[in-house]
Amino acid sequence: MNEHPQTTTITYRVPYADTDQMGFVYYANYLVYFERLRNELLRRSGTPYKEWEARGLLLPVIEAYCRYRAPAHYDDILTISGFISLGKGTRIRIDYEARRDDTLLAEGYTVHACLQRSGRPTRVPEELRPDNLDK
């Protein structure tokens, strides 16, 4: 991932429960790691997801993609990074990477619809548009 000005990064130590019979982190857990990052990204941008929901904004995932490059294992310390790469109309896209040291393990993205509590689409709030995040 090119260093992006609004990149958020977290670390996560892989528990045994995250691994499969082969000793690898189970593939679906990377989407959970991406979600952990997404929550922290929103929190660090000034408005936690819980507050967006209280304001009536929902951000359901409408598309998810993950490309696996190398396996992670029990007790690995992962660095998960991401940023909002697109925020226009009624959608936002968040790009992610998971690394162990310098090794890229997985990369992907999620696309989210911006919805009112009623389920009606709504425009991406100014605060979640990539060009406004560092203002």
Question: Tens digits of per-residue pLDDT, 23-34?
Answer: 999 999 999 999
Sheet with strand 8-13: strands edge to edge: 8-13, 77-88, 91-100, 103-113, 61-68
Cα 27 to Cα 15, 35, 36, 74, distances in angstroms: 14, 14, 15, 13
Residues forming the active site: 20
Using the predicted structure, report yes or no on whether residue 2 has a pLDDT greater than 60.
Answer: no
Of 4-13, 25-34, 52-61, 70-79, which gets the smallest average pLDDT?
4-13
The domain limits of the chain are 8-132
Q: Which helix (H) or strand (E) holds 40?
A: helix 29-44
Check if the beta carbon of residue 57 is closer than 8 Å to that of residue 125: yes
What are the tokens at 104?
Answer: 């890229």
Residues written for the chain:
135
List the CATH code of the domain at 8-132.
3.10.129.10
Interval 55-77 mean pLDDT: 97
